[in-house]
Amino acid sequence: MRRRSKERRGGGREEVYGTSEEEKECIVFKGTMGEGMVSAEKQVMVSSRLWKCLRVMLVLLVIIAILLAIALVIVIIKRSEKPFCREGKTVIPRNLDKPGIFEDLTPNEMRIVRDYMQAQKGLDLRPYNKAILNSSYIYLIDLHLPIKAGVLKYLDGGHREPERAAKVVLYRGDMNPPRVEEYHVGPLPRPRYHRLVANPIYRRIPIPFTSRPVDQVEYNHLYAMISDITKTLYPILMDTYRLSYHNCTKGVDCMLFYDVAPRGIKSNERKSWFWAFRGVEGFYLHPLGFEIQINHESVNVSDWSVTKLVYNGQLFYSVNAFDDAYRRNRIKKVQLFMDKYDSVYSSYKRRGLNNYDVPVRGPRLVEPDGRRYSIDGQHVQYFGWNFNFRARTSTGLQLFDIRFQGERIAYEISLQDAIVYYTGYGPVAGSTNYFDTSWLLGASSFELMPGVDCPATATFHDAYHFAGSAEPLHYKNSICIFEQNSGLPLRRHYANDFMGGYGFYGGLVDNYLVIRTIANIWNYDYIFDYIFHLNGVVEIKVSLTGYVQSTYGLPQERAYGNFIYSDVIATLHQHLFHYKVDMDIAGAKNRFAKVDISTETISHPWYPGRNKTQMKFTKRDKQTEKDAILEYDFDKPGYSVIYNAKAENNWGVQRGYRIQHKAMSKFVLDGVDVTQAAGWSKYQLAVTRFQDVEETSSSIYAQNDPFDPVVDFRRFLDNDEPIVDEDLVLWLTAGVHHIPHAEDVPSTTTTGNQYNIFLRPYNYFDECPSTTVSDAVHAQPSAHYEEIKIDTFGVAEGSNCFANEIPFSVFNGSRSPA
C-alpha cells in the first residue's frame, strides 16, 4: 500500500491510503480549522457495488424477519390448536403369504386354484372371458373350511394346522344333460387333488343347470336379445315414453331393463321377466308398465324366445302381436312423459324446505387415546373379546372362534340367507321373491363411505372374491370395524336418599365394538352388524335401507300397496333373515332349555286364610330337535337358554347364555310352493345337533328353483336327533312385514327398521363382567356435601385432540381386479 499526502483546503493535509483510483473515491476526509479551535467534518463515500451489496443484505434481512414473524404466528396457532389423536392399538394388514385358518382365500390362492382346475384335461374348462353357455367354466372359487373337530384340535390342543382348501363351482354347459358341479381343491398353495363332491344335505344331485345363478355370460345374450326387441319396438317406445334402449343418450332418454326371479312358476323352468324403468337416479321408483318374459332354458341361444309381453296391463304372447295391436290401435295406449325436473323425486339430492337446516357439521366420533381395539389380519381383539372374521362370497360376513375373557362362547355366527317375499297383481310385482344368497351377498358388499356408512375414524378392510370373473376381484374398504359410544350408560345408579341428597352415583358408558358390511341387492341395502358389548353380550343386528320396489300403478295393484308418486305403487312385502349361531358354552357339550314363565295361586305363607297369585318360572330341557322348535307364542312367555349342565358359576348355578330374540316376524306363507327353499322361514328359532355337512341352511341355487330346492332346511330337523349334552347349533330367523308409504321416498330409512338378536350371559359369570372396565365414573359425596369425590379409575377426562378422519374423497365405489 502506498502512502501519499496532499494539501487540503483550509491549510490541512489529507492522508490517503490506497492502491487504485477506485479506493481514492471510497474515503475522503475533510477538515476545517478556525481560530482558537479545530472543527472536523468527515464524509464517507461508498462505491456503487458495495451499496448494491448493502441493499441486497437489507432486503434479505427484511425477508428473514417476515419469515420469522410468520413462523412465530404459526407456532402460536399450532400451540393453541389441538393435535390429531394418536392411533392407539395396532392394525396389522393381512399376511397374504401366510393366511390364518379362518382367513379368506388370497388373490394368489384363487389364481392357483383357477390355473390348476383349468389345467385338468378331463374337465375341459374354458377361461371365463372365453366361456359360452354350452361350455364348461369356473363360476365361483371360495374357501372350504376344514371340519370343526380338526380346527378345535389345532386351536385348543396344539395339533397341526389343517390344510387349506377351496370350494369350486363349475358350470358344465357342455355335458348332457348340463349341470352344476362342486369340487374341493387342495391343499393350498400347492394343490394335488380336485374332488367332485356331493354334499349329503343336497336333495338334488346332479345340481340342475336351471337352478344356477345367472352370470355375465348369460346376461350378455339376454341383453342382446332385449336390444333387438326394443329396436323393433322403437317407434312404440318413443311414442309412449319418449325413451329408447338400443340407441339412447345416457341421462337424457334411456330406459333400463332389469330381471326378477324366480325364473318361472315351477321347477326346472328358466323364464325370466325383465321390466322397464326410466333411466334416472333412483330408477326403481320409475316403472313404465312394460315387461318382457324370455325363455332361456336351453344352452343354445338360438332356442331362446319371448314368451310374454305386458304393456299397460295388457298381455301379448309375441313381439309381433304387440307391435301389430299397437299400430292398429287395438290397445289401450298410455303416454308417460317426464322432464328432468319432475324426475328428481327419486334422487338423493338435497331438496325441500331449507329453513330448518343450516349446512354445518354434525357430531363426530373422537377416540382421545386412539383406537382401543387391535387387528391382526382378520383377527380382532377388543377388551376381553377375541374373534376372527371372513367374507364368504355367497352369504357375506362370518365370525369364528368368538371368545370372551379367554373362553370360547361361539364357534361360528353367520348370516345364511336374506329373502324378500313380494305381493302384487302384475306379472313382475306378483311373482317376485328374492333369495339373496343366490345373488351373492358377500360379492354384493361394496366399498363403504367413511363418515356415513361407518365413522370416519373406523378401520376399513378389503375383501377379495372370485365369482363370475376371469380374475379375483378386489372390494376396497368393504368391511369396517369401529368402537362406538351408544349415548347411553351401560349401567348406572343414583342412590337417592329421599332427603334431597344421595349416597353415591355410579355409571358406566356403553361403548361397544362393531364389525359391519353393507350388501346391496338390487334395490335394497342391508346393513349387517355384529356388536360386542362390554358386559359379554353379542348383538346380531340388521338395518334396512335403500329403495322400495315399485310397480306401475294399475288399478288392480291398489289392494297390495300405496301410491308413492303419480302412477307408481310400492307393494307389501316381508323381509326374512336367517342366522346360524354355533354356541359352545364352557365346551361343546350343551343343553337347550325353555324357561317358561307362568302363574300360580298358592296359600299365602304369611297371611293365613288368604291366597296369593304370582309369577313363577320353570326350566324345561328340550330333548330332541323337533322338541326345540320355537314358533313364538305370545301367550307363553319365557326365556330360551343354552347352557352347560356340568359347569357352574360360584353360586352353584349352571352357566349359560340366553337368546333374546327381538326381531320375530310371523310367517304367513307356510306351504306356498315358492317358499320351499326357505323352510326355515316359519321357525323363529330351531336347534340342531352340529353336523359338518349342515354348513348352510340355504344355497346359491335357491333363487332359480325354490319349488324343488337343492337345500331344504326342514330336512335338518327330520331325523329329530337328541340334543342333550351335544354340540348344538341355533338357527334364528329375524324379519319384518313392510307396507311401503310415501315417506319411503326417496328410500327407506333405518329409523324403525333395525332388527336385533341378543346373545346374553345367563349365569355365565359371577357378576357383570363389565365391572373390570375402566369407562366408569363413581361420585361419592362427603357427609355434608362439602366435597364430591369423583373417581374415573385412571381414565382422563375430556378430549385434547382432533379425530384423524378419513375424507370422503377416498371413496371410489367400484370393484377392481385384484
Continuous segment of H or E residues that includes residue 109: helix 107-118
Contact 43, 28 (CB under 8 A): yes
Q: Which of 173, 174, 159, 242 is nearest to 210 (CA)?
A: 173
Q: How far apart are CA 117 and CA 123, in angstroms?
A: 8
**417 catalytically annotated:** no
Q: How far apart are CA 408 and CA 618, in angstroms?
A: 28
Cell numbers found for residue 638? 319365557
DSSP tally for the chain: helices H, then strands E: 8, 41
Cell numbers found for residue 144? 372350504
For residue 814, which phi and psi values (nearest 5 degrees)? -105, 150
CA 219 to chain centre: 26
What string of DSSP letters covers 237-306? HHHHHS-BSTT--TTTSBEEEEE-SSSSSSTT--EEEEEEEESSTTGGG-EEEEEEEEE--SSSGGG-EE
CA 667 to chain centre: 26
Q: Which of 197, 237, 446 is nearest to 333 (CA)?
A: 237
Task: Indicate left, alpha or beta for 11 from its phi (over 0: left) and psi (-120 to 50: alpha).
Answer: left
HSE-up of 238 (CA within 13 Å, CB side)?
8
Residue from 128, 311, 475, 524 carrying the catalytic annotation: 524
Residue 348, strand partner residues: none
Cell numbers found for residue 635? 301367550
CB atoms near residue 454 (< 10 Å): 25
* Residues belonging to the chain: 818
Q: How far apart are CA 545 and CA 525, in angstroms?
A: 5
Residue from 436, 510, 582, 775 carrying the catalytic annotation: 436
**524 catalytically annotated:** yes
Q: How far apart are CA 704 and CA 712, in angstroms?
A: 14
Active site residues: 436, 524
